[in-house]
Amino acid sequence: MGHVIELNALTKRYGDRTAVDDLTLTVRPGHVTGFLGPNGAGKSTTLRMILGLTTPTSGSATVDGVRFADRPRGLHHAGALLDAGDVHAGRTAAAHLSALARSNGIARARVDAVLREVGLAGAAARRIGGFSLGMRQRLGIAVALLGDPPVLLFDEPFNGLDPEGVRWVRNLFRRLADEGRTVFVSSHLMSEMEHCVDRLVVLGRGRLIAEQSLAEFAARGTRASVTVRTPDPAALTVVLAAEGARVVPADAGALVVTGLTAARIGDLALAHGIGLHELTTRTASLEEAFMELTADSVEYHAGEETR
Ligand SMILES: Nc1ncnc2c1ncn2[C@@H]1O[C@H](COP(=O)(O)OP(=O)(O)OP(=O)(O)O)[C@@H](O)[C@H]1O
């Protein structure tokens, strides 16, 4: 079984700006691999280089050891959803897919099959110009599936989808991976990814920050904190700080404590005769782990002047 995507020191520079910086990684079949990073991290540029749409400045991107541009009949080999807005608005959905099927040597029957698959069978004869964003995403996914390819790349596939659509896409990715395909999905939102990926590649300012399983990623981010409520926060803060804990006041008189377990906090409070009204352990969410991991590489912070 093959269809491994390999990036080797892949680099893309635009003038003095490095969009993708020395990226080396492997994306394997049978998994849904999430490709995460803040806006401008270089995800789209990377996907475009894998597809041979953008030429690397240096390094290489191959599928099964062969550059995409060197493969005949592209859509049989790899399917992609890139910019869902990038279609001929005057065409109908069926005409758009039929044209692609013809130019890629794909049987016409596949057009109806993928329209059904993405839930657009009823809209086949409608012009794409009148499609909602969610319908365009579905059409883009239909294009990716058209050649029944072993490799599938999706750039921000959840954009514009309603909750039912999001769920459908997640199940679709899972099924495609279970069929042994290589599924590589970009997103800037961890919340979209944590329900459907089993591996993660995290990018920040063009550089690889993490490449691991979802479980490994979750373990790295779970720094537990304990929320404590007490009628005497000042006294408890002194006691906990003396034990080396970090204590931060939170809403409504609560304290957020890191560095001590809930059990230890409870014992210390008892030993000092301090009452407790709440003692709750919280583990950081994947979203928080992702934010922490990429904090140094976020380029565009809200409410901040350009640096
Ligand atoms: N054709 C281009 N010419 C010049 N700069 C470009 C070009 N394409 C991308 N860039 C720059 O490269 C960097 C990476 O962009 P890219 O679109 O790959 O990021 P991304 O991770 O997909 O971001 P987003 O989540 O916002 O889509 C950005 O700084 C972008 O401005």
Give pLDDT tens digits along the chain (307 positions).
468 999 999 999 999 999 999 999 999 999 999 999 888 899 999 999 999 989 999 999 999 888 887 776 578 888 999 875 567 788 999 999 999 999 888 999 999 999 999 999 999 989 999 998 889 999 999 999 999 999 999 999 998 888 889 999 999 999 999 999 999 999 888 888 888 898 999 999 999 988 988 877 776 655 678 999 999 999 999 999 999 999 999 887 899 998 898 999 999 999 999 999 999 988 767 777 777 777 776 665 555 444 4
Residue 142 CA to its chain's centroid (Å): 20
Q: What's the pLDDT at 192?
A: 80
Compute the distance from residue 49 Cα to the ligand 1 centre, in Å: 12
Can you give the pLDDT at residue 307?
Answer: 40
CA-to-CA distance for 33 and 211, rounded, in angstroms? 10
Residue with the smallest CA separation from ligand 1 atom 26 is 39
Count other Cβ atoms within 10 Å, centred on residue 275: 11
Task: Indicate which residue's Cα is closest to atom 18 of ligand 1.
Answer: 42
What pLDDT is stored for residue 69 in this prediction? 76
The residue nearest atom 11 of ligand 1, judged by CA position, is 19
- What integer pLDDT is reported at residue 23 of this predicted model? 97
What's the 19 CA to ligand 1 centre distance in angstroms?
A: 6
Output the CA 292–ligand 1 centroid distance in Å. Answer: 22
Ligand 1 site, CB within 6 A: 14, 17, 19, 37, 39-45, 188
The burial class, CB within 10 Å (0-12 / 13-18 / 19+), for 22 is middle
Tokens 């997103």, located at residue:
187
* Residue intervals in the chain for CATH 3.30.70: 224-282
Listed in order, the ranges of the chain carrying CATH 3.40.50.300 are 5-213
How distant is the alpha carbon of residue 233 from its chain centre?
Answer: 40
Q: What does the pLDDT read at residue 257?
A: 92
Give 224-282's CATH code, choosing from 3.30.70, 1.20.58, 1.10.10, 2.60.40.
3.30.70
DSSP state for residue 42 in the 8-state scheme: S
In this structure, the residue with its CA closest to atom 1 of ligand 1 is 14
Q: Whose CA is nearest to atom 17 of ligand 1?
A: 44
Bridge partners for 78 per DSSP: 151
Q: Ligand 1 test: best mutation among 10, 21, 43, 306, most atoms within 8 Å of CB?
A: 43
Closest CA to 214 of 229, 230, 197: 197
The CATH code belonging to domain 5-213 is: 3.40.50.300
Q: Which residue has the tokens 């079984």?
A: 1
